[in-house]
Amino acid sequence: MASNKSVVSVVVALVIAAPLTGCSLNFQHLPLGRGLPGESYPLNMEFVDASLLPVGGEVRIGQAVVGRVMSMSAQTFAAVVHTEIASDIELPVGTRARIELSTPIGDAFVNLEVPVDPAGPILEPGSTIERSETVRGPDVAQLLGAVGTLLNGSGLAQVKNIVSEADQILDGREETIRDLLARLDTFLGTLDDRKESINSALDSLNRLSALIGDESATIDEGLRTLTPALGVIADQRQPLLDLLDETDRLSTATNSVLDQSADQISEITGRLSPILDQFSAMGPTLGETMANLDNARVLLERASPGDYVNIDLDVDVEGTVTGVLNEIIPGAAPPLPPLPASDRELPITTPLQGGTR
């Protein structure tokens, strides 16, 4: 009889274990609790995708659990999550909701992000956080997809080629690269030492650009005015080229003359120096003297009404006029023929005396 009871017990155990093993029942498939201690109020949230969020999932602010997911529904191409929030939690308008994972393989929950400085009213019971204020965070599937994209066709093979080619470039050129880096360091140090000057130059360039911008209308007008002048110059291109050729030949001839007469020009310039010194010494009286000369011209015209001159002149010259002129400017006065013996005894005024005609 005891033997029969043992067989029955084994059969019952196998019957119970078989369906449990076939269904792979575990704690992850048990429904989460939906209860929320204390009073609560309903709050709806619209998400583009809420597939990760389980019914009974937590609603948190930071690490504090403030509510639970009661149910979900689909409405106008959006997932509407119906939650219950603890009555002592006041959420201002502008609160954002985000679906996150507690761990990479953990359960999803709703994380509420409350504004730092809430200035609006409080969300009333039954209010809805719109889709524009909600977002779904990354999950394991998205992470694995990103990793797959990185590993397949994302350019890692090209990176390997770049590294290999860079290694070939640097191989055997370590000293050259080291010297280049040293020069680059020196160059950058020089730029750093002169950064004040560079900044000043950039500021000046900025002011110049601003000035040009302010005067853009004037510059445009100048360019429009300059256009006809450029057209005239373009039309006179050949005459200008001919003029330049003639100027070149004139310069060549002038240089030849100057080379041949350099000594004479230098000597004449030196002899003119005393005259110029006297003009310089006259200073402010030079203008008055020139005005007096103009008056003398008027008097001279009155004194010579015809081909004769009425003049009463006393001349006191040491030596002869010819000698004085030759001392100032060599060759300025031609040599005079000697006087006849009969005229050598006459006074000096004799040649200056005129007569009536």
183 pLDDT band, cuts 50/70/90, is very high
* 48 within 8 A of 132, measured Cβ to Cβ: no
For residue 35, pLDDT over 80 is answered with no
Residue 133 CA to residue 91 CA, distance in Å, equals 13
Tell me which residue of 152, 131, 156, 20 sits closest to 75, measured CA to CA.
Answer: 131
Q: Give the pLDDT score at 25.
A: 44
Question: In this predicted model, which residue has the larger pLDDT, 353 or 304?
Answer: 304
For residue 323, pLDDT over 80 is answered with no
pLDDT, mean of residues 174-195: 91
Q: What is the mean pLDDT of the chain?
A: 78
Question: In this predicted model, which residue has the larger pLDDT, 307 or 193?
Answer: 193
Range from 27-31, 118-122, 136-140, 191-195 carrying the lowest mean pLDDT: 27-31
Q: Give the pLDDT score at 203.
A: 92
Q: Give the pLDDT score at 81.
A: 95
Chain position carrying tokens 């201690």: 37
pLDDT in tens, 234-277: 888 898 889 999 999 999 888 888 888 888 888 888 888 888 88
Chain position carrying tokens 């140090």: 189
Chain position carrying tokens 């000043």: 200
Question: In this predicted model, which residue has the larger pLDDT, 15 or 318?
Answer: 318
261 φ, ψ (degrees, to nearest 5): -110, 20
Q: Give the pLDDT score at 328.
A: 60
pLDDT, mean of residues 199-218: 91
Tell me which residue of 127, 118, 103, 112 sits closest to 64, measured CA to CA.
Answer: 112
Tell me which residue of 44, 55, 58, 62 sits closest to 109, measured CA to CA.
Answer: 58
pLDDT, mean of residues 151-175: 77
Range from 63-67, 250-254, 349-353 carrying the lowest mean pLDDT: 349-353
What's the sign of the alpha-carbon dihedral 39, 44, 48, 49?
Answer: positive
Range from 12-21, 218-227, 311-320 that averages highest in pLDDT: 218-227
Q: Say what percent of the chain tops pLDDT 70.
A: 75
41 pLDDT band, cuts 50/70/90, is very high
Q: Give the pLDDT score at 295.
A: 81
Q: Give the pLDDT score at 144.
A: 75
Residues 6 or more apart whose CB falls under 8 angstroms from that of 322 comprise: 333, 335, 336
For residue 155, pLDDT over 90 is answered with no
pLDDT, mean of residues 290-308: 76
Range from 23-27, 85-89, 123-127 carrying the lowest mean pLDDT: 23-27
List the structure tokens of 338: 């000697």
pLDDT in tens, 92-113: 999 999 999 888 777 899 999 9
For residue 315, pLDDT over 90 is answered with no
Q: Give the pLDDT score at 352.
A: 47
Q: Say what percent of the chain tops pLDDT 90.
A: 27
Q: Give the pLDDT score at 346.
A: 52
